[in-house]
Amino acid sequence: MSVLRVLGLGLFLALAALTRPAFADWDQALAEYEAGHFEAALAQLLPLAEAGNVDALEIVADMYSYGQGVKADRTEALKWSRRAAALGSAEGENDLGVAYSTGEGGLDKSDAESLRWFKLAAGHGNAKAQISLSRRYLYGTDGVEQDIGLGLQYLFAAADANNPRALSSLAQFTATGLFGLNADMREAVRLYERAAELRYAPAQVELAYAYGLGRGVARDRVKAAMWLTVAAKARCIRAAQVYEAWRRSSLLPGEVEAAQRMAEAWERAHPPAQRRNANDLQSASGCEPLSQFGSVGI
């Protein structure tokens, strides 16, 4: 074997020895994070993030943003997001778009900078950025002229990526025929179902209304109660309120028991999303408490 080949093999083995612990550390850090052991996860993720591991950078940014294992600190979160974005992370680019749109993390609010970062992230396939751009173009907000065609294009792209927020928004527009879409409640229910199956609580509430009222689907009081039960378990306050009101006013004991069994079966068949993805499902819209109830029952 030539000297060069020996040296090359030696270099390869040396590099392999160096990289194996790094991958092992990443696997362990991710496992700790997914298990909710945030302090232990952060201790292992920080060195990886410092070394330029993009996945670690994204999670550390999330941890500071959501206060997971550390005090919430948007300025610190953006520091890690910016480093991730510099390495081509669409998640980091989206974080910067959000920060510039709100003026968080010590940044000056800037519609232009926000738009620039959202477009970069959307171009790299980030569904959250596509949704943000969709809202801007559909409604003509945040310094953007209204362009319904472009707004729908961004929304369809996010829905095609199976983003539950995009699916739920598209379902709402389809139900009402907004923005020139054909009003089709059956199609709206199909979209809500896709989002609900992804554990998106606001869509689960809308699906409960559809089944409870027989809108776009055959009326089914038990399925309506089942979806409210599932959403309530996800800490959707509105779902809990509506379920309790319906239970007291019209649900029969047998229907309550059947809905509970169906909800438990659904939970077993749909394990929680990975914690990284679960962060994306947090939404106050559609789950905020109702100040008053109408007279609609099931």
- Look up tokens 């005090």; give the residue: 71
pLDDT band at 290 (very low <50, low <70, confident <90, very high): confident
Mean pLDDT of 5-14: 44
pLDDT band at 261 (very low <50, low <70, confident <90, very high): very high
Q: What is the DSSP letter of 36?
A: T
Q: What is the pLDDT of residue 276?
A: 73
pLDDT confidence band for 256 (50 / 70 / 90): very high
> For residue 218, what pLDDT is reported?
98
- Answer for the pair 207, 213: CB distance below 8 angstroms, yes or no: no
In this prediction, residue 19 carries a pLDDT of 37
For residue 13, the model assigns a pLDDT of: 41
Whether the predicted pLDDT of 122 surpasses 50: yes
User: Phi/psi zone of residue 254: left (φ > 0), alpha (ψ -120 to 50 degrees), beta?
Assistant: alpha
- Can you tell me the mean pLDDT for 279-286? 66
Q: Which has more pLDDT, 285 or 153?
A: 153
Q: Look up residue 296 and give its two tokens.
A: 């609609």
Domain residue ranges of the chain, discontinuous segments joined by +: 199-271
Tens of pLDDT, residues 173-230:
999 999 999 999 999 999 999 999 999 999 999 999 999 999 999 999 999 999 999 9
C-alpha 7/C-alpha 10 separation (Å) is 5
H or E segment to which residue 191 belongs: helix 185-197
CA 167 to chain centroid, in Å, comes to 11
The two tokens of residue 280 are 């994306």
pTM as predicted: 0.87
Mean of the per-residue pLDDT values for the chain? 90
Query: What pLDDT digit, counting tens, does each position of 33-76 carry?
Result: 999 999 999 999 999 999 999 999 999 999 999 999 999 999 99
- pLDDT for the residue numbered 22: 47
The DSSP-derived string for 246-273 is: HHHHT--HHHHHHHHHHHHHHHHHSPPP
Q: Give the CA dihedral 78, 80, 84, 85, nearest 10 degrees.
A: 20
